[in-house]
Amino acid sequence: MTRAISLHDVSKSYTRGTRVVDGLSLDIAPGEFLVLLGPSGCGKSTVLRMIAGLEEIDEGELLLDGERANDWQPAARDIAMVFQNFALYPSMTSRDNIGFPLRIEDRGADPGPRVTATARMLGVEDLLDRYPSQLSGGERQRIAMGRAIARHASAFLMDEPLSNLDAKLRNRLRAEIAQLTRELGVTTVYVTHDQAEAMSLGDRVAVLRGGVLQQVGTPREVYALPRNVFVAAFIGVPRINLLQGVVRAPLDGAMTIGLGKQALRLPEPLSLDHRLLRVQQGREVIVGLRSEVVRIADRDSARPGEALITGLVEHVEFQGHEILVHFNTGSRPAVVPELEAPRPAARPPRRRRREGPGMLDRLRGRAGAALRAGPVVVLEDLEDPEDPPGSPASDTAPSGVRLPGDLVVRTTPDVRLHHGMQVPLLVDLDRVFVFDQDGDRICPSPDRLPDLDA
């Protein structure tokens, strides 16, 4: 029997006045694999521990299969937990570690058959007579997993179970956990701060920030329609480009979103979403551009719904299967406070040698086809993007680290680009996010229903 787990308006404080979990409501269906995702310290472990009964719930309700379970003893909840630091008994063999909870549960029963079956499922049969000190990290974590699985608990809670393992092992175990929990069909709440892990494992992902639920949805939903700028920035690699913009809706001209020295011209007739933007006239907004919504192509090849801007190549990051191009577009990056990891600089920040106009002209000359792109907007003072006097761009990164460029674009590895080229860029406006100054998404409209799996 697998459980439905519901949290209704649950809050928790360790010290008076600071809620580490604040009004959390979540309904987890029987058999569902739900990932709780958020930066470290946002309350993920606290949520798990409240579900397990290891931590008291201050306010709100925990329901297990619809029954109020706030005051149930941990054992009565029939939930197994896997921790980050492989909690194995050092003086017991793997066999005894896996069998231990079974013996506690039913003192008369022989745990042998269940232990063997579990070990077979996890591929650790040959490790059953070893002690934890004779196991590698990955093997230990498999045994810890075995201990949770052998019990046939009605739900699993996993608290960053892979974070102590090296990257290769993590990927392998990640796939194993996904397969195993699917086969067992047991409700699982899995905690991680790693968005890639969350996206690859979860039926749904719940994003927490400072104890407050930001959004819950399928991996596709939270990626394609993030409710706010925090979710948009937390999910996706490379990190979404976030730029300060301003909506301009003149009575006698095209509506645009100004991005520093350039502007995105909204195609006419305006879409419903873009019409809704009109009320933002004159206001500052945050524009979110994922690296795949911008493509390097000249104006002549623009499709309906694409807007043209220009970028100066700052840095080319070769990734093998693709290239990430860092452009300077003369816009001003928006910074999301509290994000654990701001976009890392692709190279160590260093002051570039000042290049005379002759050098820049030569570089422009080499741009070839890309430059014959119709009326490209020339960005006047791109000559010295390192240090534009009084430029607001100097606050690009919270740490004071200067990032190369303000716009990262993903492209195929055959595209030949180099530092200093000026390149036309087409922006797919249907997939551009606009957030208000509070960080809430206003475009696409917040009540746009996700029809993503269609």
Ligand X SMILES: Nc1ncnc2c1ncn2[C@@H]1O[C@H](COP(=O)(O)OP(=O)(O)O)[C@@H](O)[C@H]1O
Q: How far apart are CA 160 and CA 293, in angstroms?
A: 32
Instruction: Say whether residue 244 binds Mg ion (CB under 5 A).
Output: no
Given CA atoms 198, 200, 202, 207 in this order, what sign does their dihedral have? positive
Helical ranges in 185-249 per DSSP H: 195-201, 219-224, 229-234
Which residue in the set 1, 14, 166, 338 belongs to the binding site for ligand X (CB under 6 A)? 14
Residue 46 binds which of Mg ion, ligand X, none (CB < 5-8 A, kind-dependent) = ligand X
CB of 41 to ligand X, least distance (A): 4
* Tokens matching residue 137: 């990290």
Q: Which tokens in the block code for residue 132?
A: 């934890």
Which one, 211 or 405, has the nearer CB to ligand X?
Answer: 211
Question: Using the rule CB under 6 A, is 43 a contact of ligand X?
Answer: yes
**Which of 40-48, 57-65, 129-137, 217-225 is the region at the interface with ligand X (rule: CB under 6 A)?**
40-48
**Under rule CB under 5 A, residue 45 binds Mg ion:** yes
- Binding at 14: pick from Mg ion, ligand X, none (beta carbon under 5-8 Å per type): ligand X
Query: In the set 19, 44, 239, 410, which binds ligand X (CB under 6 A)?
Result: 44
Nearer to Mg ion, 52 or 246 (CB): 52
Q: Count the helices and strands in the chain (H runs, E runs).
A: 11, 22
Among 5, 24, 33, 45, binds ligand X (CB under 6 A): 45
Please, are residues 25 and 10 in contact by the beta-carbon 8 Å criterion?
Answer: yes
133 binds ligand X (CB under 6 A): no
Q: Rounded to the nearest 5°, which phi and psi values hold at 28? A: -110, 120
Is residue 382 a contact partner of residue 330, using CB atoms and an 8 Å limit? yes
Q: Which does 41 bind (CB under 5 to 8 A by kind): Mg ion, ligand X, none?
A: ligand X
Residues between 384 and 413 that touch Mg ion (CB under 5 A):
none
Residues, the chain? 454
20 near ligand X, rule: CB under 6 A:
yes
Q: Which is nearer to Mg ion, 45 or 331 (CB)?
A: 45
Partner residues linked to 285 by β-bridges: 245
Question: With respect to ligand X, which residue has the nearer C-beta, 35 or 407?
Answer: 35
In angstroms, give the least distance from the CB of 28 to Mg ion.
18
Contacting range for ligand X; rule: CB under 6 A; set: 38-46, 108-116, 338-346, 444-452: 38-46
Which of 39-47, 67-75, 149-157, 213-221 is the region at the interface with Mg ion (rule: CB under 5 A)? 39-47
**φ, ψ (nearest 5 deg) of residue 394:** -75, -5
The identity of residue 416, as a single letter, is R
φ/ψ of 36, rounded to 5, equals: -95, 115
- With CA atoms as reference, report the closest residue to 160 among 119, 134, 191: 191
What is the 8-class DSSP label of residue 228? B
- Is 2 near Mg ion (CB under 5 A)? no
**Residues in binding contact with Mg ion, number by CB under 5 A:** 1
Q: Name the DSSP letter for residue 293.
A: S
Nearer to Mg ion, 36 or 224 (CB): 36
**Smallest distance, Å, CB 92 to ligand X?**
28
16 binds ligand X (CB under 6 A): no
Q: What is the DSSP string of 351-398?
A: PPPP--HHHHHHHHHHTGGGG-SSSPPP-GGGG-TT--TT-GGGG-ST
Query: In the complex, which residues of this chain contact ligand X (CB under 6 A)?
Result: 14, 20, 38, 40-46
Query: In the complex, which residues of this chain contact Mg ion (CB under 5 A)?
Result: 45
